[in-house]
Structures are given as C-alpha cells and as structure tokens.
C-alpha cells in the first residue's frame, strides 16, 4: 500500500474509536509533562537532575505510546491504558537502547559545546563569557558553532532514520537489541521517501493547530501516530514478516473499499 491508502485505512480504524486513540497517544505525554513541570519547579535549575528526569519520562512516553499505537494499528479494541507498560522486560530493553543512543549523542555534542563555549553545557553564563570578546571573535564562535551543530544534526538525522524502527521491533517482536537494530536498517532500506513523506504530510496540520489553540492536536496526534504504526506494519509485511491480525484487517478493509489488486496466480495483494 502507498501512504494514501495507509492514511485512508487509519482514518477508518479511528472512526468511532478516537477516545481510546487519544488516551493512547496523548495522555502519557500530558501526564509526564505535568510531572516534569512539578519536579522542575522544586529542584530548580539543576541540569543533571533535569536531564535524568527528562530521559526517564521520555523513555516511558516512547514505550507507552508505541505499544498502544501498535495495538490499535493491529485492530485491538479492548486494549486499556494499563496495557501500555507491558511487557516489563521489553521496557528494560527499550530503556537500555535509548540510554546508549543518548550517551552516543552526548559524546559528540558536549565536546562541541566545550570547544566553542569552554563549557560542557550551553548555559546563560557560557554565552555571557563569549560576549567579552570583539565582534569578529563572537561571530567566528557563533558561525563555527552553528556549522558544527548543523553537520552534527545531519549525522543524527541519518542515524535516527536508520534506527527509527528499532523501538517498534523491540516492542512488536520482543527481539534482542542488535536484532531490532538490524531489522530497522532492513525496513528503512529503500523506503526513505515513504517514511519521510508520511511525516511531512502532517506538518501542515500541525501548523493549522496553532490557530485552534492546540485543539486540533487531539485529532492530528492520534491520526499521525497510528498512521506511522500502520506504515511500519506494512513495511514489515513487505519484508516477509507479516502480522496475522494486521494482514487480515488490512486485506478485508481493502476488499471492502476496492483499494487492492490481487494476483490470480500468487495471491499477492497491494
């Protein structure tokens, strides 16, 4: 299926089921956002503590939303909020994987900060320190830092793209971390425009949400999240790793809406 067919199927999945989708894709972020705010209010400006708390909550949010998105994409109607933290041993794998990714990111970012600002973290004090130099020196530091961060950002984008289905694989198949990484590389190979295009499609909707004071997000976020899960399951099936419930649900939906073509010789459907 192309992205248009996947989005069409996603809308039909969500029809009459948006309440569960909102709980699955938005409530975890809202809950942990409030927790982060409250904790940050009491601990002040401690960078290390703030980072640790942010990392833990981000990991939990990622795990919960991905788990529920996969359940909904596969047609589950009875999945509750309590199912979003199961199984626990998979959560530990996701946690370890994200720790490694964050450490690798920090290992590159912190030396860049130290080189240009003589500080491991770009804080207000670090920025104030470079303001004591002349204009040429300040511009040199600024443009050098921007250029380094831009190059680093491109590298991170490439790595993130190749690894984007690792968490899906860890949760969906309960694989070992290296197997999940290898599968992610396999699934993303040759699918750049499909994957990036699926995300670019929703940018306009997110911009429009600004004019609705964010209310439109309660429609966009579940739609976008489940559509991405459906794309993952579609690519997974194309790579010879079908999910039985998903395959049947998609095929029935396509048959009912004349969105498929089936070969008479090998029963391949698209």
Backbone angles phi, psi at 262, to 5 degrees: -115, 130
Q: How many residues does the chain have?
A: 270
Q: What would the pLDDT profile of 7-59 be if each residue is shown by its tens digit?
A: 999 999 888 788 888 888 888 878 777 777 777 666 666 667 777 877 888 88
- pTM of the predicted protein model: 0.77
Pull the structure tokens for residue 14. 């969500």
Supply 33's token pair.
Answer: 């956002």
Two tokens at 230?
């459906």
| Contact predicate 40/50, CB 8 Å | yes
CA distance 210 to 188: 32
**Cβ–Cβ under 8 Å, residues 108 and 152:** yes
Sequence ranges of the domains in the chain:
3-252
- The answer, yes or no, to whether residue 202 has pLDDT greater than 80, is yes
């Amino acid at each position: 299926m192309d992205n248009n067919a996947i989005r069409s199927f996603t809308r039909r999945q969500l029809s009459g089921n948006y309440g569960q989708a909102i709980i699955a894709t938005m409530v975890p972020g809202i809950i942990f956002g409030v927790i982060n705010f409250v904790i940050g209010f009491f601990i002040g400006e401690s960078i290390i503590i703030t980072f640790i708390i942010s990392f833990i909550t981000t990991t939990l949010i990622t795990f919960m939303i991905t788990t529920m998105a996969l359940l909904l994409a596969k047609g589950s109607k009875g999945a509750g909020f309590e199912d979003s933290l199961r199984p626990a041993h998979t959560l530990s794998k996701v946690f370890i994987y994200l720790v490694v990714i964050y450490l690798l990111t920090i290992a590159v970012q912190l030396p860049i900060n130290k080189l240009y600002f003589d500080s491991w973290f770009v804080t207000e004090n670090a920025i104030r320190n470079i303001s004591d130099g002349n204009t040429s020196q300040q511009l040199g530091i600024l443009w050098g830092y921007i250029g380094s961060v831009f190059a680093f950002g491109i590298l991170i984008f490439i790595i993130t793209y190749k690894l984007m289905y690792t968490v899906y694989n860890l949760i969906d198949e309960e694989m070992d971390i290296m197997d999940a990484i290898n599968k992610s590389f396999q699934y993303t190979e040759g699918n750049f425009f499909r994957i990036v295009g699926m995300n670019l499609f929703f940018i306009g909707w997110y911009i429009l949400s600004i004019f609705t004071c964010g209310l439109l997000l309660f429609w966009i976020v579940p739609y976008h999240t489940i559509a991405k899960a459906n794309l993952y399951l579609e690519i997974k099936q194309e790579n010879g790793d079908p999910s039985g419930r998903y395959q049947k649900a998609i095929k029935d939906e396509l048959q009912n809406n004349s969105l498929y073509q089936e070969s008479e010789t090998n029963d391949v459907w698209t």
